[in-house]
Amino acid sequence: MLANILKVAGLVSNNSTENSVAVLDVGFGCGDQTVALAELILAPSRSQFRYVGVTLNETQRQAAQQRLDATLLAADKRDVENTSIKLFQADAAKPESWDKAITTAVDNLSDKAFSERWLLGLDCLYHFSPSRKPIFKHASQKIDANVMAFDLILGDNPSLWQTLAVRLLGFVLLCPWQTFLTEAQYRDQLVECGYDRGDIEIRDISDHVFAGLAGFLQRQDAALKPYGISLTGYSAVGRVYDWFDRTRVLKGVIVVGRKKSKSQ
């Protein structure tokens, strides 16, 4: 998923990047994407990289930190971490709540030494409360960053009950009530936050997301059943993915939004 987002954003070709890139990565989970990005940066072709990660969950932050430390240690690159990669626990949806250390680290991403500055939100922005707007505005206005994300949006022409079912699902997942937007509403929101309407790409990749996830969860459940282990919660999630796949009431999309170039 990360590799595909980076490709759509035009940041990698042949698994390497030559640009100097600054990334604000929100909701980085247990750090799979942090480590993958660090490995990409450590590639010999890299010129310059700075990464600030912000996640809500302290346990996940610690897990990510440990994995990152191990990766950099194995590559004999611990110095890179001190200067270029910082992980924080905070609410990325509320930039006004950040303490000085986070604010300074994020501000430093705006350094014009980086030819590209990006906000990355991989499978997390639909959780953001009150909405995605504060982090989009912060990225656009404070660090002049483009946006790349994997996100969920409402399908085309959902029935009233489908929309209601999706909103209820969001409620159960502790997402804001109005978190799922249509593609048009999503574009409007990006434009309102400072992104160029003519330079927004929303690519539907549902075919490669929901059925695979549903199948994976079913296979895990079946494999563990003989041992008396039940993944009831995950099976329910699998059925929801299966429903998404059949109805496309929600679509899984890669979003890339760019700032207007200063000369425009």
Ligand X SMILES: C[S@@+](CC[C@H](N)C(=O)[O-])C[C@H]1O[C@@H](n2cnc3c(N)ncnc32)[C@H](O)[C@@H]1O
Candidate ranges 78-86, 120-128, 139-147, 194-202; the one touching ligand X (CB under 6 A): 120-128
Q: How many CB atoms lie within 10 A of CB 164?
A: 11
Min dist CB 34 to ligand X, Å, is: 9
Considering only 72, 124, 213, 214, the residue that binds ligand X (CB under 6 A) is 124
Select the residue interacting with ligand X from 55, 71, 140, 179 (CB under 6 A): 55
From 6-14, 23-31, 41-49, 250-258, give the range in contact with ligand X by CB under 6 A: 23-31
In the range 154-183, which residues lie near ligand X by CB under 6 A? none
Residue number, 17 or 34, with CB nearest to ligand X? 34
The reply to whether 24 sits near ligand X by the rule CB under 6 A is: no
Task: Based on the shown chain and the rule CB under 6 A, indicate whether residue 144 belongs to the binding site for ligand X.
Answer: no
The contact set with ligand X (CB under 6 A) reads 26-29, 32-33, 54-57, 60, 91-93, 122-124, 127-128
